[in-house]
Amino acid sequence: MLARRGLSVCLVDRVQFPSETPSTHVIQPCGVQALDQLRVLDAVLAAGAVPLERITMVIDDAVRMETTFDSAKLLHPSLCVRRLTLDALLVDAAAAAGAEVRTGLRVTGLITEDGRVGGVQTAAGPIEGRLVVGADGRHSTIASLVGSREYHVASPGRFYAWAYFDDVQDREGHARLGRRGPLGFLAGPTDGGLYMVAIGMDMAKQAEFHRDRDANFTAGIRAWPELADVLAGGRRVGPIRVLTNWHGYFREAAGPGWVLVGDAGHFKDPTPGQGISDAFRQADRLAHSIEDGLVDACSDSVMQRWWRWRDEDAYEMHWFAKDMGAPGSSTPFNTRMIRDLAADPEATQTFVRVLNHEVPPSELFTRPRAVRAAARALVDRPDQVVATLKEIVSAGRQNARRARQRRMVSQE
């Protein structure tokens, strides 16, 4: 984005590409649109990324939601593509746009003068620049070097394990999201002719899972018979990958001569698959801000405004993702809420638009809808009246606390 605007850009990464990184595979439609605008989408599709035009979401045997991206009137469907494939294509596109690409080069420090960052130190010597953009993920070197503070920290509810299968007959663009007891699922075809399956498990079950990953992962798949049937005849390829050491956060995103974008500045629970699309959203907005700030010689104040936009844009989805990834089985209240959405075609399409970061969750999960769901949940499960009432009270207090935190940050 910056190189195509005529700016001098140097891209530094410690790895050589292609390279794997722990990440969700799903790119929501808004992210696919960004790929199209970057003129990378055709290459991603040619590499085998699978457009996901249909979504099935289930909760145990109580809820089944079926919808398509086309019915939600979105410009693009979602995509499922491995970072191994996607990142290499993005790096190639950056080089083709005129960026100087230096891979296999580690950043070891910052160049600073009078408290202002003016470039990076690397194993091959210094690289000077008017602005350093840390787009280097959860374990961001730049965030660490500038001492970026974390806030709105969210504890993890689950750890995630995923694997790839070949010889799976279901190559249609069908994404499956499920919740069976305490397990969460995301599955669908991906590039390389593979089928991806991810399982989310309660954090407290880590030690048990690692004692026999193969057996426990297989048992997890069998817990959702529909998914097990899809994989019948398939063969797992490669190891079972895991994401265990993580938490949600916002980080201070800008300072004199530096800015953080994507996971370097903000990370949320992976359950709704928002990370890649949100990184593209942020990068698009940031590229415009950088260009404006450098042209007007006021980059620091422009970066501060971008930071405030980032927080406002990401706040609701941050907590929505945490709630989606909560440990344990689905509660009567949560199950009833999703069942009501599934029974309403308009609400179902709005749910898709929430996942696309097009509609804030508060516009779908309104107070009147929550009150109706709470009343119906008490009727559905009279044996859990006390637990459901406690959940409703706790959710109300939690939402009020989050609203207060949001106002406090906005005032700052």
Residue 254 and residue 239 in one domain: no
> What CA–CA distance (Å, rounded) separates 28 from 98?
27
* Number of domains into which the chain is organized: 3
pLDDT digits (tens, 9 = 90+) for 95-113: 999 999 999 999 999 999 9
Burial class (CB in 10 A: 0-12, 13-18, 19+), 238: exposed
Q: 223 pLDDT exceeds 50? A: yes
**Residue 256, preceding bond cis, omega within 30 degrees?**
no
Question: Which one-letter amino acid corresponds to residue 111?
Answer: I
Asked if 347 and 364 count as a contact pair (C-beta separation under 8 A), the reply is yes
Residue 106 and residue 251 in one domain: yes
Domain boundary among 321, 351, 382: 321
Residue 96 and residue 136 in one domain: yes
* Residue 348 pLDDT: 92
Residue 282 and residue 294 in one domain: yes
Asked if 49 and 346 count as a contact pair (C-beta separation under 8 A), the reply is no
pTM: 0.92
Domain boundary among 321, 347, 369: 321
- Backbone torsions φ then ψ of 47, nearest 5 degrees: -80, -5
pLDDT digits (tens, 9 = 90+) for 124-176: 999 999 999 999 999 999 999 999 999 999 999 999 999 999 999 887 889 99
- Backbone torsions φ then ψ of 78, nearest 5 degrees: -70, 170
Domain boundary among 227, 243, 259: 243
> What CA–CA distance (Å, rounded) separates 235 from 165?
5
* Residue 411 pLDDT: 45
> What CA–CA distance (Å, rounded) separates 23 from 15?
16
Pure H helices in 51-123: 83-96
Residue 373 belongs to what domain range? 331-411
Asked if 118 and 111 count as a contact pair (C-beta separation under 8 A), the reply is yes
For 188-201, what is the mean pLDDT?
A: 94
Residue 20 and residue 121 in one domain: yes
**Angle CA 250–255–258, to nearest 5:** 95
Specify the CATH number for the domain of residue 301. Answer: 3.50.50.60
Q: What is the mean pLDDT of the chain?
A: 91
pLDDT digits (tens, 9 = 90+) for 323-337: 999 999 998 889 999
Residue 300 and residue 186 in one domain: no
